[in-house]
Amino acid sequence: MIRALIVDDEPLARQRLRRLLEAQADVEIVGECANGLEAVRDIEALTPDLVFLDIQMPELDGFGVIEEVGPENMPPTLFVTAYDQFALKAFEVHALDYLLKPFDPDRFTAALDRVRTWIHGNHRPSLEPVLKQVQAERPLPDRLLVKDGSRYSFVRQSAVQWVEAEDNYVRLHVDGTSHLVRQTMSGILDRLSPARFRRIHRSAIVNLDFVQHLEPWTGGDYMVTMRDGTHLTLSRTYRSQLGEWL
């Protein structure tokens, strides 16, 4: 049996997918999600074999779901969209299948047959190049998803004062609190606005709006004092990131 998860913010769209899937003898529906937050939670908790993923959802869209779960951790995914110029172009380039709303039963069956070959075969298209292409062409998200225990919430980029590396995670420092996010420093930097955020050390990224002042330090390094009094090091390796300030 193929264990399928349906993700779509439109109740009628979920209902239609459920009806079509219930007619498939080898498919079991393990859950339905009405938004991206629920999708991240259920993909991690239920580990489905297949995800029907709507692209255009409020708060956290389909590609935001892939970012949070990680393209390497996503099950085989069949995208569902009304229209998305960035996504459709990426799908065509990287040979991914999708359902363009409104789709008919024949198109659904053809797409599902193709997904069956991914699931039962040894090869399936990678989501990573698709995600990178879409990220390069779409505006950067204004908010970041953070998890506290079993709860998810959003943090605005503008509120993040600085980012600290912590083992295989990064810690976002926000107004006296902090949030641990499963991400690398280079990965989180790709999602932050380059006009606002700069990496100053292998273990630190700062929001320029929260930098109080800089002072020359030893060995060509600089001491960076944040508005909250935190002292960070600008290593000479990363001096070019703040060249216009120095």
Query: In whole angstroms, what is the distance from residue 53 CA to residue 1 CA?
Result: 19
Instruction: List the pLDDT tens digit at each of the 246 positions of the chain.
Output: 999 999 999 999 999 999 999 999 999 999 999 999 999 999 999 999 999 999 989 888 998 999 889 888 899 899 998 877 767 777 776 667 888 888 899 999 999 998 898 888 877 778 888 888 887 777 777 888 888 777 788 899 999 999 999 988 999 999 889 999 888 999 899 889 988 999 999 999 999 999 999 999 888 899 999 999 999 999 999 988 887 776
User: Rounded to the nearest 5 degrees, what angle is found at the Cα of 125, between the Cα atoms of 124 and 131?
Assistant: 145
**What is the b/e burial string over 158-191, where b = at least 16 CB atoms within 10 angstroms of the residue's CB?**
eebbbbbbeeeebebbbeeebbebebebeebbee
| Sequence letter at residue 176 | G
The confidence score (pLDDT) of residue 110 equals 92
78 and 50 Cβ atoms separated by less than 8 Å: yes
The confidence score (pLDDT) of residue 109 equals 94
Residue ranges of the alpha helices (H) in the chain? Answer: 11-22, 36-46, 62-69, 85-94, 105-120, 128-137, 185-190
Residue 244 phi, psi (nearest 5): -70, -20
Sign of the C-alpha dihedral, residues 221, 225, 177, 153?
A: negative
Q: Which of 121, 116, 130, 150 is nearest to 4 (CA)?
A: 116
159 and 201 Cβ atoms separated by less than 8 Å: no
In the chain, what are the domains? Answer: 2-137 (3.40.50.2300), 143-242 (2.40.50.1020)
The confidence score (pLDDT) of residue 86 equals 66
